[in-house]
Amino acid sequence: MKVILAETAGFCYGVERAVNLARETAKARGGAMLGSIVHNAGVVREIEDLGMRLITSPDQAKAGETVLIRAHGEPRATLDALREGGAEVVSAVCPHVERIRKLAQEAEHEGRRVILIGERHHPEVQGIAGWCSDPLIFENVQEAQKYLQEHPDFAHLPSIMLAQTTCIRALWESCVKFLKKQCTNLKINDTICNATQKRQTEAAELSAKVDAMVVVGDRRSANTRHLTEICRENCGKVLQIESADELSPEFFSGCRVAGLTAGASTPASIIMEVLTTMTEENINTTAPETSESFEELLEKSFKTLNTGDKVTGIVTAIGTTEIQVDVGCKQAGYIPVSELSSDPDVKPEDVVKVGDEIEAYVVRVNDVEGYATLSKKRLDAVKLWEDIETAVEDKTVLEGTVTEVNKGGIVVSVKGVRVFVPASQSGMPKDSDLGQMVKQKVKLRVTEVNRARRRVVGSIKSVLNEERQAAQAAIWEGIEVGKHYDGVVKSMTSYGVFVDIGGVDGMVHISELSWSRIKNPAEVVSIGDHLDVYVISFDPEKRKISLGVKDRTQNPWDVFMNTYKVGDVANVRIVKLMTFGAFAEVVPGVDGLIHISQIADRRIDKPSDVLSEGQMVDAKITAIDEEKKKISLSIRALLSGEEEAPVEE
């Protein structure tokens, strides 16, 4: 029989961290652990032997005593009770569990109801629930269905969905599928631990290709129990044990290949004991092909770090000056805030969160004090140079911020790398002031990289040209008469303005700018103004577009007729002086004639003797020709108080 050991069997980093912290605390000052540090009786006995007693409630703690909080976490009320009793609390809570707690608290602060998918009475679920005011806990999709049937209004309330770290993937996905359809304001956070997911995936794959499967772990351990359930779905012969003593040769009768996995709370020593028993003592078999690799895995947990190594770890704590990282070695890893990001003003919590996986370089190792200094910033810089070199080959568009004007061009910072952009490639007109681009965010394409000289050259113009061409193609593809656009005035002439409607310029004739009479476009618009324009006509071959601004639905004559009648007095604006009289604007777009005989109560030689263009005067409406849309006005009627007969033109 051949024995295959799952690669990720045994302690996960969260459990290993908790156990190591418990050992250190027990040796340094003793104290008590509130509940089993992990679900493994052997580990708990070991910690007790080192001088740390096991208590089950906060009132059993002594004043001034150090109390260790287990990996599963505790409710807020429990921690408050410990502190009120004078105990010194040391947290061994798994960073993943801590992250779920924070997500739940933040969601409640936003007004969301917390939904937890997991085992209702499991310490981890109880601990997280103890930080929420009124969480919902569903152990399966049927419970979720029943709750929504009884509380249909809940489907429309804001909520968040979180998972126990050791939740079975299939269970989580079935709940997500149901609640996603039912709830209209649901936020979903997949908080299943990556290590748990990988362990469950390996267990499923391994159990599907063996004749018998052994799962090692404490019977109180949820993740061990879930591994057993997953294995039983794929293999007809599955045995869950806590130690090698529970193995028997009869179980493996007729088996050619057996599989072995273990829960996250199972120490490597117990796994090795079970593996040895399966391969050498109780069962007459050949040595497993993976026994050597398992020893290598054990050795890996005691590996040391060297300067220049690239390591991957999990963020376990974030302080004001440094970030603590578990890299799975005997040395503790720390990233000084100055080595976290190239941005000196960045806040650590904006870059990483507890429980995040992070890559970094080892910049210094202190074996005497047992820690290693790491740098994420330096690794990011190396990766960035690699990305920039790749960007040249792939012609990738990058984003950056203009930081300064240089001789012959500008400098753009792309994630901390200085990129020189010649003036001719800046996208600005020749001889324009490049200083106005400083602090602007721009898109560019890298055209040249010399890593040895740390020289990078880029082009903004090429990106702008492509964007402009794409925008122009989109405009011409969808243009039609009457279609409206948000346009920007680019330039003005005496006869109209040119408006950019998204990469293509169109012409608005002066007569289309306003219903009122204007002599120059500058009277109503300025360069840079946004206008709601519509297409009057267009010629795709000549690439010409005629645009309008005047609202055709607001006919000025209708406005006039709805506002005035014969005999009314209007305050009008003189818009044009003629030899026979003056034209005055009554409402925008509608003019009336003041005959020279109706301008004054005395004889005048010409209208300019009394009036000037732009002058505002009161005039009486003496006649309206609706058919010809003509209006007769009189100033004289107001001066003399006489009724004046309309004057024929």
Distance between CA atoms of residues 149 and 154, nearest Å: 10
Q: Do domains 310-379 and 556-640 have the same CATH topology?
A: yes
What is the reported pLDDT for 15?
Answer: 83
CA atoms within 13 A on the CB side of 563: 14
pLDDT at 138: 96
Helices (H) and strands (E) in the chain, counts: 16, 32
Looking at 65, 74, 98, 124, which residue is catalytic?
124
The CB-side HSE value for 195 (13 A sphere, CA atoms) comes to 25
Secondary structure of residue 149 in the 3-state scheme: helix
Confidence check: pLDDT of 642 > 60: no
Per-domain residue ranges for the chain?
A: 1-94+207-299, 95-192, 310-379, 395-464, 479-548, 556-640
pLDDT digits (tens, 9 = 90+) for 497-538: 999 888 888 998 988 887 767 788 888 888 888 988 889 899
Are the beta carbons of 304 and 366 closer than 8 angstroms?
no
- Whether residue 173 lies in the annotated active site: no
Q: Which of 300, 258, 263 is nearest to 279 (CA)?
A: 258
Fold held by 479-548: OB fold (Dihydrolipoamide Acetyltransferase, E2P) (2.40.50)
CATH 3.40.50.10860 fits 395-464, yes or no: no
> Which two three-digit tokens encode residue 3?
């024995």
- Domain 310-379 maps to which CATH number in 2.60.120.10, 2.160.10.10, 3.90.226.10, 2.40.50.140? 2.40.50.140
User: What pLDDT is recorded for position 367?
Assistant: 63
- The DSSP code sequence of 13-44 is HHHHHHHHHHHHHHHHH-EEEES-SSS-HHHH
Cα distances (angstroms) measured from residue 36 to each of 88, 222, 374, 490, 557: 18, 14, 33, 73, 88
What architecture is domain 556-640? Beta Barrel (2.40)
The span from the CA of 484 to the CA of 535, in Å, is 7
Q: What are phi and psi of 94, to 5 degrees?
A: -60, 135
Q: Is the pLDDT of residue 288 over 70?
A: no
Q: Convert the pLDDT of each residue in 104-114 to its tens digit.
A: 999 999 999 99
* pTM for this model (two decimals): 0.47
Give how far Cα 94 sits from Cα of 99, 325, 475, 486, 583, Å.
9, 13, 55, 54, 86
pLDDT-wise least confident of 136-145, 350-359, 489-498: 350-359
- pLDDT band at 330, cuts 50/70/90? low
CATH class of 1-94+207-299: alpha beta
95-192 in CATH: which number? 3.40.1010.20
Is the C-alpha dihedral spanning 591, 597, 600, 603 positive or negative?
Answer: positive
Identify the residue whose tokens are 């079970």: 274
Range 26-42 average pLDDT: 88
Per-residue pLDDT band for 301 (boundaries 50, 70, 90) equals very low
Strands 310-318 and 257-262 turn out to be unpaired
- Predicted confidence (pLDDT) at residue 637 exceeds the cutoff of 70: yes
The pLDDT value recorded for residue 282 is 44
